[in-house]
Structure 1
Amino acid sequence: MCQKLVNKYNVAGPRYTSYPTVPYWDVESFSLQQWKQVLKQSFEESNIKEGISLYLHLPFCESLCTFCGCHKRITKRHEVELPYIKAVLKEWQLYRQLLGTKPKIKELHLGGGTPTFFSPEHLTLLISELLRVSDLADDYEFSFEGHPNNTTAEHLQALYDLGFRRVSFGVQDYNAKVQKAINRIQPFEYVKRATEMARAIGYTSVGHDIIFGLPFQTEADVRETISKTEALMPDRIAFYSYAHVPWIKGNGQRGFKDEDLPTAESKRAQYETGKSLLEKVGYTEIGMDHFALKTDGLYKAMQNETMHRNFMGYTASKTQVMIGLGVSSISDSWYGFAQNVKSIEEYYNLLENNIIPVYRGHILIEEDLKIRKHILNLMCHFKTSWLQPELTFNELPEVLMKLKELEQDGLIEFERKQLIVTEKGRPFIRNICMAFDLLLQRKKPDTQLFSMTI
């Protein structure tokens, strides 16, 4: 990649798991009552047609990984499991009372934290109770995030028996020095064991998460990690940039010094090396930072242009409604977003008082919805169009002017009323989306809110 372009476009920018991005939500005019109204409206539109998605945030971890930007609670006390499960089930009960009709679940994902912190018995209780009062779509998909160090055969079998067929394991990097810096010690043998157990049980999609740009990480480390990954050939790989945002996430990301991080130039070289090696052994780049074998559902969704992006990342299909359960979870009704409180104690207290534990959100206006479609098109399909009147907006001429420079740099091409991201431009997809981000342009932050784009 041209270093001149890296220097030019390596700026702070969103990862666009939503539009508007969370820092630009209109929280002042948002209310829980509004959220209930837009959710109910959207649910009635979509439940019969496509079903809904459920995201369950299980926040507990036994130790702190210093690269992690997720909301978590560090504890070795496993007696916290059952009270939390009961609270999540109470939240689901409140949502079902609001919606009135039996929900049809198309996607269900367990994230964290560490979902496999919970015992197989407690995970079985949680999922069984959720499903007991729900229907399933014909093409449903259940997935979870597993920690290679504590995901047992019992975990995998219990969740498989409940309908889970996809699991992703956090690998990060296999170098011992890097693992020590991020406080995530897990030998290759642990990942190999977990991967092979999942396949032996019958999981049809096993994923690995790999990070570049970690402290002390080198290009040689990335080569070694990809080489070991090739020995296992996971069905899909998330190969993404470490987001260094300690000013947002607090002391958790201060387990090392800023100067221990690779430079922007070496970080980008790590990505280019990793991408080249992955493509050489049969992976195809999917959207941003994701790779899949041609046999995996995410690859097929990209080919069919049915791939979607939301707060769970890339998914093989779209549902208009995604309900997030658990502390800090974010829900999406397409017309609005809502985020749960982040304190476990406050979460419990609100549920005891029969209150859906939302503390902030955003109701999308017409302009938001149009921009959201363009950004989703770019993030999922590397192209967008304004041929249809419903995808035009007042500032479109100004946006097209901003894109001219990206065109001159060979990152995009225009074809009639369509924008196509070039192969050269794919690593800069966040920068291209930023040209459409009207709220980012109108409300430039005084402080850095996002990680660097390159």
Structure 2
Amino acid sequence: MAQSLIAKYNIPGPRYTSYPTVPYWDEKGIDLDAWKKSVKLSFDESNEKEGISLYVHLPFCESLCTFCGCNKRITKNHEVEDPYITAVLKEWDLYLELLGETPIISEIHFGGGTPTFFSPESLRKLILGLTSKGIIPENHSYSFEGHPNNTKLEHLKVMNELGFNRASYGVQDFDPKVQKTINRIQPFEVVEEVINNTRAAGYTSTSFDLVYGLPHQTKESIIDTINKVRELKPDRIAYYSYAHVPWIKGNGQRGYDEADLPKDDEKRELYEIGYQLLLDSGYKEIGMDHFALETDSMYVSMKNKELHRNFMGYSASKTQLMIGLGVSSISDSWYAFAQNVKTVEEYYKIIEEGEIPIFRGHELTEEDLVIRRHILDIMCHYETSWADEESYHEIIDECIPRLTELIEDGFLELGNKSLKVTEAGKPFIRNICMAFDVRLIRNKPQTQLFSMTI
């Protein structure tokens, strides 16, 4: 890939797990009653057809990984488990009262933090508290993010018995120097044991998160990491660009010098090496940063043009309504977004007062809904069309001229009221979406809000 193109397009940009992106949500937020109405409307429209998704944020970790930008609480005190789960289930009850009918729970995802910080008994209480008040469809997808160092066989057995069938592990990198720098020491043997236990416990899909651009990473360390991953053959791989955002308060990314990070061309080379090794190992590219074996539902979903993207990343199926439970969780009713308060103490206080604990949100305008659909189509299918009335808005006419340079650089093919991303354009998919991001264009940030696109 031409270094001149990397230099040209390596700018701060969103990852588009939503549109509008969080920094461009309406400053006045969303009224709680308006949020509740949008949830109810979305549920009534979609529950019988596709069910709902639940995301539960479990924020506790025993140690700080210095590459992480997630909302977390570092503690070794496991007495925090029961009060937190009790609060999450109270929040779920508030939503159930709002929904009025029994939800079909098509998807559940536990993220964090470290979900396997919680004991198997605590996770049993949480899962039963969620699913006992809903319907579990036959084709459900229930998953969790596990830390290889503390995901025990008992965790796996309990969760699988209660319907969980997918497990994702944060591997990041196998190089000892990189692991030490990011405070995530987990030898290959540990990861090998946990994925073997996961398969033995009955999970049908396993996933690894890998990160390129970490401090002290080299071509040799990436090759070694990918070769080790090939031995374990997870069904899915997320190969993320390290998002260096030390300006976000409390994320721990001041634990090393920026001089330790691979620079633009070095970082892109790390991606290209890993990308080719993954393709050579039988993985297929899925959207942005994701790969899957042909036997995995993510690949099947992509081939059938059913791939979806939300705040959790890519999903093999779509639900119109996603309810986020727990501190800092983001919910999506399709018509609006809402985020929960970010501290555990404030979360507990509002839950005890008997209210859904949102602190900010955004109601999508007609323009937002059209742009959102096009960005989703580009992120999931590498193409979009505005030929029909529902997918057209006059704002599209303003976006087209911004595609000219992308077309000239070979990233896009523009059709009659449609576009298609070329193979050369796939690494620049965030830049392509930015041409449609009218909120970003109208109000360019004065300070850096996003990680670099490459």
Give the TM-score band, short-chain normalised: over 0.9
- Could you tell me how far 1:29 is from its partner in structure 2? 4.7
Q: Map of 1:245-264 to 2, 5 A cutoff?
A: 245-250=245-250, 252-264=252-264
Contact kept, 8 Å, 1:308 with 1:315, in 2: the verdict is yes
Counterpart in the other structure of 2:367? 367
Counterpart in the other structure of 1:206? 206
Identical amino acids, percent of aligned pairs: 63
Q: Residue by residue, what CA displacement relative to the aligned partner does 1:78-119 show, whole Å, maximum 9, x if unpaired?
A: 000000000000000011111111111000011000000000
Counterpart in the other structure of 1:182? 182
State the SS of the aligned residue for 2:106: strand
Q: Residue by residue, what CA displacement relative to the aligned partner does 1:249-276 show, whole Å, maximum 9, x if unpaired?
A: 4460000011111001000000000000
Paired AA for residue 76 in structure 2: K
Distance 1:405 1:46 in 2: 40
State the SS of the aligned residue for 2:446: coil
Distance 1:50 1:29 in 2: 28
Q: Residue by residue, what CA displacement relative to the aligned partner does 1:153-197 show, whole Å, maximum 9, x if unpaired?
A: 000000000011100110000111111111101001110000001
Contact kept, 8 Å, 2:222 with 2:270, in 1: the verdict is yes
CA-atom RMSD in angstroms: 0.8
Contact kept, 8 Å, 2:115 with 2:145, in 1: the verdict is yes
Distance 2:223 2:360 in 1: 42
Paired AA for residue 350 in structure 1: I
Distance 1:89 1:441 in 2: 40
Counterpart in the other structure of 1:426? 426
Paired AA for residue 3 in structure 2: Q
1:72 lines up with 2:92 in the alignment: no
Q: Residue by residue, what CA displacement relative to the aligned partner does 1:297-325 show, whole Å, maximum 9, x if unpaired?
A: 10000000101000111000000000000
Q: Map of 1:341-380 to 2, 5 A cutoff?
A: 341-380=341-380
1:132 lines up with 2:132 in the alignment: yes
Distance 1:243 1:249 in 2: 14
1:119 lines up with 2:119 in the alignment: yes
Distance 2:244 2:335 in 1: 31
Q: Report the more deviating stretch, 83-92 or 390-399.
A: 390-399
Contact kept, 8 Å, 1:50 with 1:137, in 2: the verdict is no
State the SS of the aligned residue for 2:48: coil
Counterpart in the other structure of 1:98? 98
Distance 1:397 1:109 in 2: 38
Structure 1: stretches of 5+ with no match in the other structure? none
1:34 lines up with 2:34 in the alignment: yes
Counterpart in the other structure of 1:451? 451
Distance 2:315 2:378 in 1: 15
Counterpart in the other structure of 1:295? 295
Contact kept, 8 Å, 2:237 with 2:291, in 1: the verdict is yes
Counterpart in the other structure of 1:87? 87
Distance 2:299 2:422 in 1: 19
Counterpart in the other structure of 1:326? 326
Counterpart in the other structure of 1:6? 6
State the SS of the aligned residue for 1:139: coil
Q: Report the more deviating stretch, 246-255 or 382-391.
A: 246-255
Distance 1:425 1:126 in 2: 43
- Could you tell me how far 1:415 is from its partner in structure 2? 2.2
- Could you tell me how far 1:219 is from its partner in structure 2? 1.4
- Could you tell me how far 1:398 is from its partner in structure 2? 2.2
Structure 2: stretches of 5+ with no match in the other structure? none
- The number of aligned residues is 454
Paired AA for residue 13 in structure 2: G
Paired AA for residue 181 in structure 1: T
1:275 lines up with 2:268 in the alignment: no
- Could you tell me how far 1:2 is from its partner in structure 2? 1.1
Distance 1:153 1:165 in 2: 14
Counterpart in the other structure of 1:170? 170
State the SS of the aligned residue for 1:331: strand
State the SS of the aligned residue for 2:268: helix
Q: Residue by residue, what CA displacement relative to the aligned partner does 1:385-421 show, whole Å, maximum 9, x if unpaired?
A: 1111222222222211100100000001012221000
Contact kept, 8 Å, 1:236 with 1:290, in 2: the verdict is yes
- Could you tell me how far 1:330 is from its partner in structure 2? 0.2
TM-score, structure 2 as length reference: 0.99
Distance 2:402 2:86 in 1: 50
Contact kept, 8 Å, 1:20 with 1:372, in 2: the verdict is yes
State the SS of the aligned residue for 2:224: helix
State the SS of the aligned residue for 2:354: coil
Q: Report the more deviating stretch, 412-421 or 83-92.
A: 412-421
Paired AA for residue 300 in structure 2: K
Distance 2:432 2:200 in 1: 42
Distance 1:251 1:297 in 2: 33
Paired AA for residue 165 in structure 2: R
TM-score, structure 1 as length reference: 0.99
Distance 2:195 2:251 in 1: 32
Contact kept, 8 Å, 1:69 with 1:249, in 2: the verdict is no
Hey, which bits of structure 1, 4+ residues long, moved more than 3 A? none
Distance 1:38 1:200 in 2: 42
Distance 1:97 1:136 in 2: 19
Q: Map of 1:407-418 to 2, 5 A cutoff?
A: 407-418=407-418
Counterpart in the other structure of 1:310? 310
Distance 2:449 2:123 in 1: 35
Distance 1:69 1:310 in 2: 18
Counterpart in the other structure of 1:220? 220
Distance 2:197 2:439 in 1: 46
Distance 2:161 2:336 in 1: 34
Contact kept, 8 Å, 2:3 with 2:265, in 1: the verdict is yes
Counterpart in the other structure of 2:107? 107
- Could you tell me how far 1:135 is from its partner in structure 2? 1.1
Q: Report the more deviating stretch, 387-396 or 403-412.
A: 387-396
1:11/1:45 CA distance change after superposition, 3 Å: same
Counterpart in the other structure of 1:142? 142
Contact kept, 8 Å, 2:57 with 2:113, in 1: the verdict is yes
1:329/1:251 CA distance change after superposition, 3 Å: closer
